[in-house]
A and B are shown apart, each in its own frame.
Chain A
Amino acid sequence: MCNDFFRMRGIVKTYQMGDEAQTVLKGIDLTVNEGEFLSILGPSGSGKSTLMNIIGCLDTPTSGEYILRGREIAKQNAQQLAAIRNREIGFVFQSFQLLPRLSAMRNVELPLIYAGMEERQRFLRAEEMLTRVGLSDKLRNHPNQLSGGQQQRVAIARALATNPSILLADEPTGALDQKNGRQVMQLFEEINGEGRTIIMITHDLSIARYGHRIVHILDGMLKEGEAQDA
């Protein structure tokens, strides 16, 4: 079957460290179907951050083929990659990455500005997204007036604002306590239940298990299933 939604074949990423070349990813093959909730599990130094950067189109592979929604990522220029990040990928970071000087609303509006949406529409969309994550009463609050869990929910609202194909999360619960982490994961399940594809990268098996499929990354290679850890 030829999957044009998300397909990686033989992805290799090599970094040049002075004289030494370090290969961080050593031939990754990965196919994700639309609507899947995939967890990529791996310890630090396994290459998962690099993989996440490549999935998120923040970085390009040294070799290999990466097709996202029918487009060959390696062939896109900087401007096209920016558009793909804007329309196809919603990022959720471990440390939320909200701009401290902007209100929740204006943080959520950011990707919509780059999408070229009009002010009024943008406003409505941001409000809708924040309501969706249960923060309709915190629209005007700045990040420092929100708890960690609330901040991460603002970040999720922002990630979903442009209606992307994939929600890409990097240790989304890493900076949260258990209760807030669980809430965020429940939100992820709901979002996935609405048909949104989620790719989540984590080192925590209990979090990874929220996904419907787990792949392991170890030393730059992928393995399906969670057998090794069991």
Chain B
Amino acid sequence: MLKHTISLWKESLRMSLTNIWNSKMRSFLTILGIVIGVTAVIALVTIMQSATTEVTEEFTAMGTGRLMVTVTGTPLKTGLSISDMEDIKAIENVEGVSPSLSAIVTVKSDYNWIEDVTVEGYNEVYFRRYPELVSYGRAINPMDADSRNHVVLLDETAIQQLFYGTDPLGKQIYLLGYRFTVIGVLSDADDNDVLSQAQSDGTDGGRMIIPYTTAMTITGTHDIQSLSVYVEDTDKTDQVEEELDNALKTMFNDKDGSYRIINMEGLLDTMNTMLSMMTTLLVGIAAIALLVGGIGIMNMMLVTVSERTTEIGLRKALGAEPRQIQIQFLIESIVLSLTGGLLGIVFGLAASYVFSVAADFEFVASGSAIALGVGFSVAVGIGFGWAPARKASELNPIDALRSI
């Protein structure tokens, strides 16, 4: 019985391929709707998945397990002090705290000078977090920060302008009139670190980093207005965030809006939720194209059934059961829509490949998108082929044969 069924399916499949092949133009126009619908679904899902991957990677690079604090302060307390920072460092599960200061200064070497350069102040925690930042020389160490050493790290752009490319290590530069010794060279801005990119943007003088304490001294400030808190165990980020919030609340006397904590993970979650909502919405719209395509298939199947009334009658006279007729036409409808679906998958992947190249995303042919395309088109084939196939199976063989 099973063998019988398989053999019948095989024959139905062969018959439907013959029929589709014999009316190529009509079949092509019929499946066009499905092709367009599946192309849209595949392209959208793939592109959105690439975008999600990209965003996730970017955010992960910026640091999971990292809480960013920005302070606007109150009239009485305009920023965080060094001892506040020590208090924050003492919170359980905090691995380290990296303050971040910046000032616009004029810098001079023995050979040249540059106006309006941004100089950034960090501590050793920052360098420990981004070890690839120092291409040679040394990073800022805890002693530099404690004793407010006048040491500086420069990137290649700054070296070009200040030393015309000669080895700067051990040489002197002047920031705001203070003499600094060059201790290290920064690698080119890490592409992944959107934050540092953003910070170094706006000046073409290059990037310079000095100990944050030194930066506070030479600019005459006691306020730290931006810092990153690194969490030891990323699972405990939320807990640390809560304690950090409590600590800051105490420091700023419960004043609303005096500080902000940005949880990178929370941001990532929000972003992902947004992206997946957008995907759902877009796929929903693409599904309308599939619906229209399905109606096209139904139309063609109804025409086919009435065109082939005699054939149906003959098949019944030769011993075809109603069920077998129904299977034949259902398979024909599935083959039609599946052909459209496969074409749609090819076009959809091609479209998203072109997009990913253009947008410089990594191209990922997602298995779930392909499964979705196949699933959708088979569902459309069954859904919209059912009624015509049913109609064919219910034809009375006498009427069918009489229409000769």
**Binary interface profile of A, 79-96, with partner B (CB < 8 Å = 1, else 0)?**
100110111000101010
Size of the A side of the interface (Cβ < 8 Å), in residues, is 29
**Is B322 an interface residue when CB atoms closer than 8 A count as contact?**
yes
Please tell me if the beta carbons of B311 and A114 are within 8 angstroms of each other in the complex.
Answer: no
**Is A116 an interface residue when CB atoms closer than 8 A count as contact?**
yes
**Is A1 an interface residue when CB atoms closer than 8 A count as contact?**
no
B319–chain A nearest beta-carbon distance, Å: 2
Q: Which residue of B3, B18, B310, B321 is within 8 Å of A97 (Cβ)?
A: B310
**Binary interface profile of B, 1-20, with partner A (CB < 8 Å = 1, else 0)?**
10110011011000000110
Q: Which residue of B8, B18, B319 is within 8 Å of A85 (Cβ)?
A: B319
Size of the B side of the interface (Cβ < 8 Å), in residues, is 27
**Binary interface profile of B, 371-404, with partner A (CB < 8 Å = 1, else 0)?**
0000000000000000000000000011001001
**Is A187 an interface residue when CB atoms closer than 8 A count as contact?**
no
Chain A contacts for B11, CB-based, 8 A? 113
Please tell me if the beta carbons of A58 and B398 are within 8 angstroms of each other in the complex.
Answer: yes
**Is A53 an interface residue when CB atoms closer than 8 A count as contact?**
yes
Q: Which residue of A79, A95, A97, A113 is within 8 Å of B7 (Cβ)?
A: A113
Q: Which residue of A91, A116, A162 is within 8 Å of B3 (Cβ)?
A: A116
**Is B22 an interface residue when CB atoms closer than 8 A count as contact?**
yes
Task: Provide the bound-state CA to CA distance between A162 and B19, in Å.
Answer: 26
**Is B359 an interface residue when CB atoms closer than 8 A count as contact?**
no
**Is B281 an interface residue when CB atoms closer than 8 A count as contact?**
no
Please tell me if the beta carbons of A58 and B7 are within 8 angstroms of each other in the complex.
Answer: no
Residues of A105-143 whose CB lies within 8 A of B:
110-111, 113-119
Chain A contacts for B317, CB-based, 8 A? 56, 58, 85, 91, 97
**Is A203 an interface residue when CB atoms closer than 8 A count as contact?**
no
Task: Provide the bound-state CA to CA distance between A116 and B311, in Å.
Answer: 19
Please tell me if the beta carbons of A111 and B319 are within 8 angstroms of each other in the complex.
Answer: yes
Task: Provide the bound-state CA to CA distance between A86 and B404, in Å.
Answer: 21
Task: Provide the bound-state CA to CA distance between A167 and B190, in Å.
Answer: 87
**Is A179 an interface residue when CB atoms closer than 8 A count as contact?**
no
**Is B320 an interface residue when CB atoms closer than 8 A count as contact?**
yes
Task: Provide the bound-state CA to CA distance between A158 and B360, in Å.
Answer: 63
Chain A contacts for B320, CB-based, 8 A? 82, 114
Q: List 24 A-B residue pairs with CB atoms under 8 Å apart, sorted by A's residue number.
A: A53-B398, A56-B317, A58-B316, A58-B317, A58-B397, A59-B398, A79-B321, A82-B319, A82-B322, A86-B319, A93-B401, A97-B310, A97-B317, A111-B318, A111-B319, A113-B7, A113-B8, A114-B315, A114-B321, A114-B324, A116-B4, A116-B7, A117-B7, A118-B7
- B residues near A, CB below 8 A? 1, 3-4, 7-8, 10-11, 18-19, 22, 310-311, 314-324, 397-398, 401, 404
